Chains A and B, each alone.
Chain A
Amino acid sequence: MSDIRNFFKKVSTPNKKRTRDDSADREEITSTAKLEQKLSTKISKEKIVSQTKTNINTTPPKKMKTKETDPIEKKKHLENYKSFINRGGPVAPGSKVIPDGEKNCLKNLTFVISGVLESLERDECKILIEKYGGRVTVALSGKTNYLIAGRESSEGKLNKARETKIAVISEDDLLELIQTRPGDEGTPKKKVSTTAESSSMQLKRKSSSTVSKSTDPSPMKIQKKSDDESNLLWADKYKPQTIKNLIGQQGEKSCVQKLIVWLRDWYQHHGVSDEKVKAKSSFGFNRNENPAMFKAALLSGPPGIGKTTAAQLVCQHLNYEYIEKNASDQRSKKSMTNLSSDTYSVVNLANKSSTISKYVLIMDEVDGVAGNEDRGGVQELISLIKRSRIPIICICNDRQHKKIRSLASYCYDLRFYRPTILQIRAGMLTILHRENIENIKQDVLDEIIQSCNQDIRQTIHSLNLWSTHGTTNANKLAAKMIEKTTNTNPFELCRLSFSDELREKSLSDKSDIFFYDYRLMPLLIQENYLQCQPHLSTSNNQKRALTNLEHLNLISKAADSIALGDVCSQMIFSKNDSWSLLPYQSIFSTVAPCSYVRGHLRGMANFSSYFGQRSRANKNARVLNEIEKHICLKVASINKQEFNLDYLTYLNQALVTPLKMASQDKNVEQCISLLDDYYLNRDDFQTIIELNTWGKTGRNQYEQLDTQTKSLLTRTYNKTNHRTPYAIVDIKKLKKSKGLMDEESDEEQEEEASVIIDENTIEEDAMIKIAKNREINKPTKKSRNK
């Protein structure tokens, strides 16, 4: 954004130009200015009102007072005041380019401002005039040279000006005046590239003569520029100004080239027809083959590699006007709708004036469209894409974000990758050369680039930082310092934490590894500490191998510490209020075990198997629970755990042994009758066998059965009906019916569940009646329970 504003200042233009600049700070400035204006106007309202009414040069305070006593006058005052309050600010604040004039070009000139100017606030205007040596007064006098008149300027002043033959000028005239008037120092300002001015097509973009360093022949200019920008960060200062300056985007098939082609042809494909063009969402491999069908492009890639810059430069390259929206703007559904209507108006305006015909909307930081504030933003963006008449470029970091994924199917997918070290190095050397820094070594430079994770922006920042401290000796130090800030993956950190590199580091450095991810790191350490071959402390130079016992001793200590760490973490997470224990956990879980077995890892760092094993345990617990629920009527005196420890093996044996003997109907029936007796179903049978399979090499007894027996079992089982006291829920059916008859099926299940299983006791006593009554009463009772 800042460069755009700079650009505004630099390129001089008399033309009206409507631009949209939505950066937050800008808005803030105007709003505060408005506020100030209102305050000041309130104070001086009487004065102004009286001026407008009386047409007298100066209004003595006395007179004013007398006037106020007149009730009719008072009423008029009030109306005037009301209209004054309601007249609002500039119509299009910031819409005009404020030119750079020669110094003191308005010297000895006196201005009076009246009414509301088109783009400038009164204060801004005053400041502008004063900047160039002019004077602004409140009332007209003989010395006044110009009256700047805007909307609703006072009749009195205009009349007076006509009388005294003071030139009445508009805001635009003022700007032109600033631009064209010679300064006190001499020659009139050479107009910046008259060609650029004459062709309105190039108004918005930086013409080559003003900014582009590489091509600028005039050394004077560079000097001036660096004066302006000496306090700029390098990253802004050396922002690529042309497409050719982009790092790593020079190839024929680079993203930028693709983007140019897409954007160039966009208006041919979509711009002509007024009817709504459907943005096709297509999937599959070839969806990027034909860029023409997309109405929007999605640039994705890690930060700091020039996506936004590329988008802006491409627009400039093709002489397209661009509107940028980024995360600093609110992008909820509502504001997005407003934006789209705004965009229409922009397009319409452009069509009428026909000076600038092509617009692009750049949506920066689309993955930042999140949270409550931006609710529905992405959906609205998609619908915006569908009906848009201008190309939209979306930019995001995380292409895999689930919100972005829905967007991506409507967009021409362009993925930016990190440039190679070589490419960055070349760019960096240019910058360093310009800054007259030659003493950096190539390998140090490479190291810095690498430590910044090939992020161009960060590399430039790092170099900038380095240059301010930079001495030749500090090379290493700088690289180290930078290294701290970059991310590494947990596996790398795990390897690092065991390595000798950390031996001399401070405790806080060591525990930093834990805080990378305090849930994951302990598990990784635990997974890998056994794989670590400890080295003896390097202080005693004997290269003696560690004895087995010593190794075991170290491992035991490490394991002990890890176990303590677990106790610590349980304290933290169970109560959730002892977070102050976290540093202690870091010592127990990471620092201490690593210190005990410090050495090198044999093989690569593995991911913790804890997660997989835990989910396995959970799954098994679930199926056990299921079986226990089925069987519980028959073995009423058992819980899940006892069933697992006692029954499971023998039940399995009792089920499988008859099947193993021979494929006889009798044996199969025996098995099934056992199943039925325990109210187990066919699935439970398989689950029981699976639960009895041990180890990776464990043999699944069911699979060992010959197929004949298996099919016989299935056939026989399906032949007969099996009464169960529980509802067998068919998940597939449940899913189908879920949408249609949700409640109905629920009721059915309930009824099924409450079917009473009467044992042989049923004929024996008078309970029958009661039991039946209960059965009928059951559903109502249950609903009451709920």
Chain B
Amino acid sequence: MSLWCDKYRPKTFDELDYQLQQAELLQTIVASGDFPHFLIFGPSGSGKKTRITCLLHALYGDGIQSLRIENHEYETPSKKKIEITTIGSNFHIQVNPSDVGIYDRVVIQELIKTIAQTRQINSTEQRAFKVIVIVEVDKLTRDAQHGLRRTMEKYVGSCRLVLCCNSTSRVIPAIRSRCLAIRVAAPTVDEISGILKKVATIEGIQLPVDLANRIGEKSQRNLRRALLMLQSCATQKVPLTKDQQIVEPDWEIYLRDTARMIGEQQTPQRILEARERLYELIAHCIPAEVIFKGLLDELLANCDDLLKSQITQTAAEYEHRLRQGSKEIFHLEAFIAKYMCIYKQHMQSMAAGLDDCFD
């Protein structure tokens, strides 16, 4: 028994449900036997890695599914030992160099080079190249990205890179230009509800259309989350109803409550309470950008239209600073304080205006 999102994950191009045109394109590229480096990007839960698996399957066949975990150990120039885990089959290897933080350059240099330098012995039975999948390329340090540049060109005969990331904005142009960039857009709500229905029928559950649409919206067009939501709904109450409560991730609920708290009352004391809660979120490894976004969404929903642009601008400014700085909590707190200030001022001027009207 595994979760539905893993159970019904497509394994070949034929099983894909959306962006079929793109799938076809990929299929033709692979069928030609050779392809350039890929840079696959898109929001989370849109099926980037599913497409990579399909690609690998089309290249190498079922052998791609016998996976193993390997531990590698490297030594940095400063004699620090770093360990990294890779997942691989006989034909490909998947690595996340950003696991080792600032030492990712060492991984790029050592691991990828060694793989790239070894040629396949009998290229008649297999492809002439191996595939290296690098995930979270946008989290690589600049040094690591530069380390990747030359490797990509030099060993193009013996390996192909498939880079995977959420956004290309943090990938240096030099790498972007060396790859065929493929954007995997998030599925639309309709597509999601279609998939949900398909899954529900296989599982033998009646899924009302309204609920499917609601899940699609709640999941923020994240298919993985949508499937997880559906399953949790199904475990709660078996005949699914239209107005059934959808279980959301805990952190989202917690974040929303925090935002609501800030909206309710604007006092220094509230900032302190909010700080506690923000610390809690950060301690649960929720990225600060996600916190920022969640807060802003919720705060905007509950404030006057006149303020929206101003508050969004403030949020953008502090989010920018957050990326420049290192201590997330400072920036989040500054944003909250600013928001409270703007909101309170607006409310007071509104109240004054009302008083004027009555006078």
A interface list, Cβ under 8 A from B: 526, 530-531, 548-549, 551-553, 555-556, 558-560, 562-567, 569-571, 573-574, 609-610, 613, 616-617, 620-621, 624-625, 629, 632-642, 644-651, 653-654, 657, 670, 673-674, 677-678, 691-692, 694-695, 725-726, 749-750, 753-759, 761-762, 764-765, 767, 770-771, 774, 782, 785-786
Q: A559, B285: Cβ atoms under 8 Å?
A: no
B251→A645 contact, CB < 8 A: yes
Expressed in whole angstroms, the minimum distance between the Cβ of B76 and any Cβ of chain A is: 14
CA distance A753 to B73 in the complex (A): 13
- Interface 9-mer from B23-31, B47-55, B143-151: B47-55
User: What's the minimum C-beta distance from B192 to chain A, rounded to whole angstroms?
Assistant: 14
- Least CB distance, B11 to chain A, in whole angstroms: 11
Whole-angstrom CA separation of A536 from B62 in the bound complex: 75
Q: Could you list 28 A-B pairs, sorted by A, with CB under 8 Å? A: A548-B267, A549-B345, A552-B267, A552-B344, A559-B333, A559-B337, A559-B338, A562-B330, A562-B333, A566-B327, A616-B283, A620-B284, A620-B285, A636-B87, A637-B48, A641-B287, A646-B222, A649-B248, A649-B249, A654-B3, A694-B250, A754-B68, A758-B66, A761-B66, A765-B62, A767-B62, A771-B66, A786-B73
A-chain residues with CB within 8 Å of residue B62 when the two chains form the complex: 761, 764-765, 767
Contact indicator B231/A756 (Cβ below 8 Å): no
For residue B342, which residue of chain A has the nearest CB? A556
B87-122 vs A: 1/0 string, CB under 8 Å?
Answer: 100100010100100000000000100100000000
Q: B65 and A761: CB pair below 8 A?
A: yes
**Pair A569/B326 contact, Cβ less than 8 Å:** yes
A310–B48 Cα distance when bound, in Å, is 77
Nearest chain A CB to B15 CB, angstrom units: 14
Contacts of A725 in B (CB 8 A): 67-69
Complex contact B330–A771 (CB within 8 A): no
Q: What are the 4 closest A-B residue pairs judged by CB atoms, nearest first?
A: A637-B49, A559-B334, A566-B325, A556-B337
List residues of chain A with CB within 8 A of the CB of B242.
none
Could you tell me the distance between the alpha carbons of A83 and B187 in the complex, rounded to whole angstroms? 102
Which of B's residues lie within 8 Å of A, judged by CB?
Answer: 1-3, 6, 9, 44-45, 48-50, 52-53, 61-63, 65-73, 85, 87, 90, 94, 96, 99, 111, 114, 135-136, 222, 224-225, 228-229, 231-232, 235, 247-251, 254, 266-268, 271-272, 275, 277, 279-280, 282-287, 290, 318, 321, 324-327, 329-331, 333-334, 336-338, 340-341, 344-345, 348
Residue in contact with B67 in the complex, picked from A610, A617, A636, A750, CB distance below 8 Å: A636
Residues in A with CB closer than 8 Å to B268 are 530, 551-552, 555
Name A's interface SS: helix
Given contacts A620-B283, A757-B66, contact A637 B52 (CB under 8 A): yes
Tell me whether A637 and B50 are in contact in the complex, defined as CB-CB below 8 angstroms, given that A563-B330, A644-B285, A650-B231 are known contacts: yes
Contact in complex: A657, B235 (CB < 8 Å): yes
Contacts A553-B345, A624-B285 given; 8 further ones with Cβ under 8 A? A549-B348, A563-B331, A637-B49, A645-B249, A649-B250, A753-B69, A753-B70, A785-B111
Q: A625-B99, A670-B1 are in contact. Are A653 and B68 (CB under 8 A)?
A: no
- The reply to whether B2 and A677 contact each other, CB–CB distance below 8 Å, is yes
A629's closest neighbor in chain B, by CB?
A: B85
B338 to chain A, nearest CB (A): 5
Name the residue on A nearest B247 (C-beta): A653
Let me know if A556 and B338 touch, CB within 8 A: yes
Partner of B96, one of A639, A756, A764: A639
- The residue of chain B having its C-beta at the shortest distance from the C-beta of A657 within the complex is B235
Most buried by A among B70, B284, B324: B284
> Which of B50, B247, B254, B290 contacts A650 (CB under 8 A)?
B247
Q: With a CB–CB cut-off of 8 A, which chain A residues contact B136?
A: 639
Cross-chain contact B284 with A654 (CB below 8 angstroms): no
Bound together, the chains give a CA A560 to CA B318 distance in angstroms of: 9
Contact of A641 among B271, B285, B325, B338 (CB under 8 A): B285
The complex places the Cα of A527 from the Cα of B325 at a distance, in Å, of 17
- Which residues on the B side are within 8 Å of A634 (C-beta)? 2, 6
Q: CA–CA, A757 to B68, complex, Å?
A: 6
A570–B286 CB distance below 8 A = no
**Chain B CB within 10 Å, residue with most, of A548, A567, A624, A753:** A567
Residues on B with C-beta less than 8 A from A641 are 285, 287
Residues of A within 8 A of B250 (CB): 648-649, 692, 694
Inter-chain contact B254/A695, CB cutoff 8 Å: yes
Bound together, the chains give a CA A103 to CA B271 distance in angstroms of 82
Cα separation A726 to B247 with both chains bound (whole Å): 32
Write out the residue numbers on chain A whose beta carbons fall within 8 Å of the beta carbon of B235.
653-654, 657
Q: Are A636 and B53 in contact (CB under 8 A)?
A: yes
A563 touches B72 (CB 8 A): no
Query: Do residues B333 and A647 form an inter-chain contact, with CB atoms below 8 A?
Result: no
Complex Cα gap A351–B326 (Å):
69
Verify B114–A785 contact, CB threshold 8 A: yes
CB distance B1 to A567 under 8 Å?
A: no
B330 engages A654 (CB within 8 Å): no
Q: A637-B52, A651-B3, A785-B72 are in contact. Are A694 and B254 (CB under 8 A)?
A: yes
Point out the residues of chain B lying under 8 angstroms from A750, CB to CB: 71
- A-side contacts of B111, CB under 8 Å: 785
Chain B residues with CB under 8 Å of A674's CB are 1-2
Q: Which of B72, B271, B325: most chain A Cβ within 10 A? A: B325
Query: B26: shortest Cβ distance to chain A, in Å?
Result: 16
- Alpha-carbon gap, A678 to B1, bound state (A): 9
Q: Is A566 within 8 A of B331, CB to CB?
A: yes
Beta-carbon contact of B1 and A673 below 8 Å: yes
Q: Which residue of A lies closest to B52 (CB)?
A: A637
Tell me whether A617 and B283 are in contact (CB under 8 A): yes
Whether A617 and B321, one on each chain, are in contact in the complex, defined by CB atoms closer than 8 angstroms, is no
With a cutoff of 8 Å between Cβ atoms, the chain B residues found around residue A556 in the complex are: 334, 337-338, 340-341
Q: Are B3 and A632 in contact (CB under 8 A)?
A: no
Residues in B with CB closer than 8 Å to A564 are: 321
CB distance from B45 to the nearest CB of A (A): 7
Nearest to A757 among chain B residues (CB) is: B68
Q: In the complex the two chains form, is A648's CB within 8 Å of B2's CB? A: no
Q: In the assembled complex, how far is the CB of residue A228 from the closest CB belonging to chain B, in whole angstroms?
A: 59
From the candidates A569, A650, A756, name the one contacting B232 in the complex (CB within 8 A).
Answer: A650
Measured CA separation A750–B71 after assembly (Å): 8
Beta-carbon nearest neighbor of B63 in chain A: A767
Closest residue to B266 on the A side, CB-wise? Answer: A552
Complex CA–CA separation, A652 to B281 (angstroms): 18
The answer to whether A759 and B65 have CB atoms under 8 Å apart is yes
Which residues from A are CB-within-8-Å of B285? 617, 620-621, 624, 640-641, 644
Give Cα distance in the complex from A755 to B67, angstroms. 10
Query: A648 and B249 in contact (CB under 8 A), knowing A569-B326, A620-B283, A620-B284?
Result: yes
Nearest chain B CB to A410's CB is how many angstroms away?
36
Contact B338 A548 (CB under 8 A): no
Contact of B49 among A621, A636, A782 (CB under 8 A): A636
Contacts of B90 in A (CB 8 A): 767, 770-771, 774
A158 CB, min distance to chain B CBs, angstroms? 70
Q: How far is the CB of B69 from chain A (nearest CB, A)?
A: 5
* Chain A residues whose CB sits within 8 angstroms of the CB of B48 once the complex forms: 637
B340 and A567 form a contact (CB under 8 A) = no
Is the pair B66, A637 in contact by a Cβ cutoff of 8 Å?
no
Residue of B with least CB distance to A642: B44
